[in-house]
Chains A and B, each alone.
Chain A
Amino acid sequence: MTPPMKDHLMKLIDYYDRVIRLQHDAEIKRELRDEEDVFLLLCFSELLGVPNPVSYYTLELYPEMIERFHEWHLRMGMEKSPLDGIRCC
């Protein structure tokens, strides 16, 4: 196969892949986002008044979580952090 032909073929395959992946990607992302929300809830449960038996370990995660927490509250339609203890913005 000549290189331009191969390029066209690859483009076609890529286009086809994008077409049929579009909706499925959204569904998978939604599913993963829900899992992420549950994980966040577990990590920040003490701030919401839910006792956390492993707070010693989750505390260590806080620096890693700040960025994701910020994304979460923006996604939930809150421009500023809703929790006093976390000042991400």
Chain B
Amino acid sequence: MNGLVLALVGMLVFFLGYRYYSKLVAERIYRLDPDAVTPAHQFRDGVDFVPTNKFVLWGHHFTSVAGAAPIVGPAMAVYWGWLPAFLWVVLGTVFAAGVHDFGALVLSARNKGQSIGTLANRLIGRRAKLLFLFIILILVLMVNAVFAWVISNLFITFPSSVVAVFMQIPLAIWIGYKVHRRSKNMLLPSLAALLVMYASAVLASNIPALQIDLVSYYGGEGNVTPLGLDATSLAFLTWIVVLMIYVYIASTLPVWKLLQPRDYINSHQLVVGLAILYLGLLFTTPEVTAPATRDVSDVSWFPILFITIACGAISGFHGLVASGTTSKQLNNEKDARFVGYFGAVGEGTLALITIIAVVTAFSTQDEFLTAYSDYAVANADGLTHFVGGAAELAGGLMIPPGVAETIVAVIVVSFAATTLDTAVRLMRYIISEIGQEYKFPSLTKKHVATGIAVGSSTALVLMPGDDRGLGAGGYLLWPLFGTSNQLLAGITLLLITIYLRAKGRNFLVSFIPMVFLLCMTLWAMVTQVVFEWSMFGENPDILLFALGSIIMVFAVWILLEAVAVFRKDRHGIDVDE
């Protein structure tokens, strides 16, 4: 089958989902009211609360939620063949993510633009707020560990991408100062920065001296260095330490200095990336060489698929963005359908093209089966295969493969680095909040909180490992990242369900995805924790066992909260402020 067919079928389902399902949800379930006064008008302050055109708001929402996660997950999940991953991304987006993002936006807009955490506190109670805080804490901890590993892995595999990625830092600081001090427009300088970055990527892919290849500096693969570590392990260690020092500095600076201008350049990269991939697909029309389904003996797709692909099918992180900033800028309540639901569809298209890039990357099915020989290999190398596949698609636009690989690696690393920055910053805030909640004033200090965030993340990414040495086990944490992200989505869906039930509406649209998600994550965690990581399992690992157990407890906790809510009188809950 042709990859283009896969894209067209996926797009068609997305279109039908938006055209009919979201319309039904908007009119019959959420009952959007065009005359309702949105927080953007009610509390208009020109800064946070600003009525914004729906197309502009959609673009903003989409660029805020799309990152490296919808690329990493699907690139691993095609291990079970393209069909399960394709179906989960397409149907998950239409029936779960769309309703979730749309619902979070509506719920927040009808409650003064309050965030999901505040809403959980109000609708369920203080216990739910703490549960929410702890789940976010564990989610950002996983994000830090996983993305530090992802970036190090890409730096080691594609050393030509290093210079361009590091070049982004001074360029972003320059833009930040220019815009802040002189109130200049960011568009032209950021486009110039992007051009400089890509030019350096092109140069680096052609001039070996510009490729920062730590493994060869340390004597090449397999060489044991004087520190006792082999070259690859030492390269991982070096990159992880460098990244952690960088995020420490980046996340303690004011956002306008580095994070925001970097985000700005990355928005261009998202557009460039999507355009290269979809146009490349149109011109190359590659054949899908991966099998549709596949019998494997190590890890079954059911239910692990549902935690391997989180972002791209459904992601709790979107609820944070929808209720954090987007809901405060909604011009009209009716716009929530386009912004929320279509925002989820945008992320779905990114996951879809990732699947297509990987399943068309190999010339024969045997090559695919060799590359994805077992689950551990699929997890460790999935992203590298995505970069290779994306480079093949870019070939359709006459971009040489070496240059294309470097640019795609730069794009993925940039997304991952911004996610890392944001996650460390978020972790710092949460540690401070927990410090306030439990009366530990020292935790509220900026450098103490950041130190704990960076220290625990570094320890986490370096601890798990396999026979390939230090840092090689970072991918083992990916399912835990997926699970915590799904649990966060579970809380938002629970809040939407409570809201709909209190209003006497049909709450099945959010209730069914919630039960499905919670059951799948719980099942997956039991499978992993008991049969894989426990002392009786196949690969005992005390760290993963402990983390998995904590997440399992959280999942059970949410289920119990849900049960408690359903035992209450639905009229007793005040859902509108």
Contact A20 B256 (CB under 8 A): no
Could you tell me if A19 and B47 are in contact, using CB atoms closer than 8 angstroms? no
B534 in contact (CB, < 8 A)? no
B325 touches A23 (CB 8 A): yes
A27 touches B260 (CB 8 A): yes
Residues of A within 8 Å of B, CB-based: how many? 19
Pairwise interchain contact A17-B187, C-beta atoms closer than 8 A: yes
A31 in contact (CB, < 8 A): yes
B256 pairs with A27, CB closer than 8 A: yes
Complex contact B255–A27 (CB within 8 A): yes
The docked-state distance in angstroms from the alpha carbon of A31 to that of B179 is 12
B46 adjacent to A20 (CB under 8 Å): no
Q: Write the chain B residue with the least CB distance to A20.
A: B267
A22, CB-defined interface residue at 8 Å:
yes
CA distance A26 to B179 in the complex (A): 13
* Partner pick for A28 among B45, B48, B256, CB 8 A cutoff: B256
Q: Does B254 contact A (CB under 8 A)?
A: yes
Q: Which of A14-46 contact B (CB under 8 A)?
A: 15-24, 26-31, 33
Chain A residues, CB < 8 A from B260: 23-24, 27
B308 on the interface (CB 8 Å rule)?
no
Cα A24 to Cα B520 with chains together (Å)? 38
Footprint of A on B, CB under 8 Å? 45-48, 50, 52-53, 55-57, 59-60, 63-64, 179-180, 183, 185-187, 254-256, 260-261, 263-264, 267-268, 271, 325, 329
In the assembled complex, the CB of B201 is this many whole angstroms from the nearest CB of chain A, namely: 21
Let me know if A75 is at the binding interface, CB within 8 A. yes
**Looking at the complex, which one of B57, B179, B180, B183 makes contact with A22 (CB distance below 8 Å)?**
B57
Binding site for B on A (CB under 8 A): 13, 15-24, 26-31, 33, 75
A24: contacting residue among B46, B48, B179, B271, CB under 8 A: B179
Which B residues lie within 8 Å of A13 (CB)? 187
In the complex with contacts A27-B256, A29-B46, A75-B45, A22-B60 CB distance below 8 A: yes
* Bound complex: CA A32 to CA B260 (Å): 15
Contact between A31 and B254, CB atoms less than 8 A apart:
yes
Cβ 8 A contact of A23, one of B46, B55, B64: B64
B348 → A minimal CB distance (Å): 19
Closest CB in chain B relative to A60 CB, distance in Å: 26
For residue B494, give the distance in angstroms from its CB to the closest CB of chain A. Answer: 28
What residues of chain B lie closer than 8 Å to A23, measured between beta carbons?
Answer: 60, 64, 260, 263, 325
Cα–Cα, bound, A21→B189 (Å): 13
Decide: A24 near B56, CB < 8 A? Known: A29-B46, A31-B180, A33-B47.
no
Instruction: Say how far B422's CB is from chain A's closest CB, in angstroms.
Output: 12
Q: How far is the CA of A33 from the CA of B373 in the complex (A)?
A: 57
Cross-chain pairs A/B with CB under 8 angstroms, 8 sampled? A15-B59, A17-B187, A20-B63, A20-B264, A21-B185, A21-B187, A24-B186, A29-B47
Q: Which of A17, A28, A75 contacts B180 (CB 8 A)?
A: A28
CB-CB < 8 A to B64: which residues of A? 23
Tell me, rounded to whole Å, the shortest Cβ–Cβ distance linking B414 to chain A: 14
Contact in complex: B63, A24 (CB < 8 Å): no
When C-beta atoms are compared, the residue in chain B nearest to A17 turns out to be B187
* A31–B60 CB distance below 8 A: no
Q: Which residue of A lies closest to B58 (CB)?
A: A19
Bound form: Cα–Cα A13–B53 in Å: 15
- Give 3 closest A-B pairs by Cβ, nearest first: A19-B59, A20-B267, A22-B60
Given A27-B256, A28-B180, A31-B254: A19 and B48 interface contact (C-beta under 8 Å): no
User: What B residues does A20 contact at CB under 8 A?
Assistant: 59-60, 63, 186-187, 264, 267-268
CB distance from A33 to the nearest CB of B (A): 7
List residues of chain B with CB within 8 A of the CB of A16. Answer: 59, 187, 271
Q: Which residues of B contact A22 (CB under 8 A)?
A: 52, 56-57, 60, 329
Chain B residues, CB < 8 A from A27: 255-256, 260
